[in-house]
Amino acid sequence: MTIKQTFHKLGSPRSFDRLASILIPWFLSISVLLFATGLYGGLVYAPADYQQGDSFRIIYVHVPAAWMSMFCYVLLAASGAVTLIWRMKLADVVARAIAPLGASFTFIALFTGSIWGKPMWGTYWVWDARLTSELILLFLYFGFMALQAAIDDRKNAAKAGALLALVGVINLPIIHFSVEWWNTLHQGATVTKFDSPSIATSMLIPLLIMFAAFKTYFFAIMLIRARAELLWSERKAKWVCEHPEVRQ
Amino acid sequence: MTPKRKQRLLLVLLLIAGIGLAVTLAILALQENMNLFYSTTQVSNGEAPENRLFRLGGMVVDGSVNRTEGDITVRFELTDTAQHVPVMFSGILPDLFREGQGIVAQGMLNEDGVFVASEVLAKHDENYMPPEITESIERAKNTNTAQ
């Protein structure tokens, strides 16, 4: 099967539904395992920080959530591009499934950062470039969801949302490089610069496990949401009526 | 890809490039305002605003912290290793405040060139030193060797 054929097959609602129903239990169970290991590692195994004490442990939620908030936006914008260029219905379904998840991750990152900031920095919030651009990301997600909900016609809603998602892409490099380009209160990158390790290995390993946990969790929930959305929008199709999991 | 899709792809790429350009220009124009704080060298050179609140960032100079007895007023000096700026603050300092720590203070300069802070925030950094202060140190070293 060529790449093109695979692409077309995946784009068909029926094969997506079948693939998703196989993948969801795997993602969910792997995610639960990873969360258990990662949380144990982060809260028990990892040593307390020499400067921040136990407060640093919020990193195990804050950093994966912040990474996911940006990863979700990349996927949202990519789905937007597919919607605009190939007019693929599935891309819009996936985008709708991603947006609330991305907004939740962004909110978690902002919230955990804020409650960590009060004891460490001395303030809940400061208008520095990193915090402000992450807040803009949250508003981009809200804007996407509001726009999609405001337009009744699904095709127009998909196009408008896709356009907004693509416009917002410019915010991603700003979030990532804000701590390098400008003076900020937020500290610079710790993990993504491997030349000089600025985090102990015993602290880093639980962080990476938590990151994998967040990612598998995201894929599980995203697929569940996309599948439900797809079944609803295709509810009149024959394959849905004959679906073993659908009760009439 | 059909010609129509190619055209749409091109439009999407143009859209992203256009917005990228517009935002880059806007950010370059606002470059000064994107920084959260002024360095001590900038303040010594008189680049900081007068009679207006601004933020000053730097490292607390070793041995410069002076507490007044029976009062919560603290005096210390901030540096980027090139220039020192004296700071006065009455209030509760964050847990991470210590000598050698990078901090960001908000306040105003008084007539004697003392920065009277109304808020002091600790800047946490895994290397004890904020990257822009490291840069400032490098710049200061470069100018010293050039002289």
Tokens linked to B124:
């946490």
Q: How far is B110 from chain A (nearest CA, A)?
A: 24
Helices assigned H by DSSP within A121-170: 129-150, 154-168
Of the two residues B70 and B84, the one the predictor is more confident about is B84
SS3 for B39-93 is EHHHHHCCCCCCCCCEEEEEEECCCCCEECCCCCEEEEEEECCCCEEEEEEECCC
Q: How far is B146 from chain A (nearest CA, A)?
A: 25
pLDDT band at B138 (very low <50, low <70, confident <90, very high): low
3-class state of residue A202 by DSSP: helix
State the pTM of this model.
0.86
Report which DSSP code applies to A47.
P
Mean pLDDT of chain A: 89
- pLDDT above 70: residue A193: no
Does the beta-carbon distance from A187 to B126 stay under 8 Å?
yes
**What number of CA atoms fall less than 13 Å from residue B96's CA on the CB side?**
29
Q: What is the pLDDT of residue A195?
A: 58
Tokens 């490099």, residue?
A173
User: Does domain A25-241 fall into CATH 1.10.390?
Assistant: no
Q: What is the pLDDT of residue B127?
A: 44
Neighbours of A170 (CB within 10 A): 17
Mutate to test the interface with B, among A183, A196, A198, A199 (most CBs of B within 10 A): A183
| Residue of chain B whose Cα is closest to the Cα of A127 | B36
- Of the listed ranges A7-21, A57-71, A231-245, B129-143, the one predicted with least confidence: B129-143
Mutate to test the interface with A, among B40, B47, B124 (most CBs of A within 10 A): B124
Q: Which of A186, A212, A220, A224 is nearest to A109 (CA)?
A: A186
Report which DSSP code applies to A151.
-
Q: What is the pLDDT of residue B126?
A: 54
The residues of A whose Cβ lies within 8 A of any Cβ of B are 51-52, 81, 84-86, 119-123, 126-129, 163, 166-167, 169-170, 174, 179-185, 187-188, 190, 198-199
Does the beta-carbon distance from A183 to B122 stay under 8 Å?
no
Residue spans of the domains in chain A: they are 25-241
Complex confidence, ipTM = 0.74
Which contiguous run of DSSP H or E holds residue B15? Answer: helix B3-29
pLDDT in tens, A165-183: 999 999 999 999 988 888 8
Does the beta-carbon distance from B34 to A181 stay under 8 Å?
yes
Of the two residues A241 and B135, the one the predictor is more confident about is A241
pLDDT in tens, A1-20: 567 777 676 678 888 999 99
Percent of chain A past pLDDT 90, that is, above it, reads 60
- Residue B12 has its nearest CB partner, among A166, A174, A181, at A166
Q: How far is B31 from chain A (nearest CA, A)?
A: 8
Tokens linked to B47:
């680049």
- Which residues does chain A have within 8 Å of residue B39's beta carbon, measured at their own beta carbons? 183
From the number of C-beta atoms within 10 Å of its C-beta (0-12, 13-18, 19+), residue A5 rates as exposed
Neighbours of B98 (CB within 10 A): 14
Q: What is the pLDDT of residue A96?
A: 94
Mutate to test the interface with B, among A167, A178, A184, A192 (most CBs of B within 10 A): A184
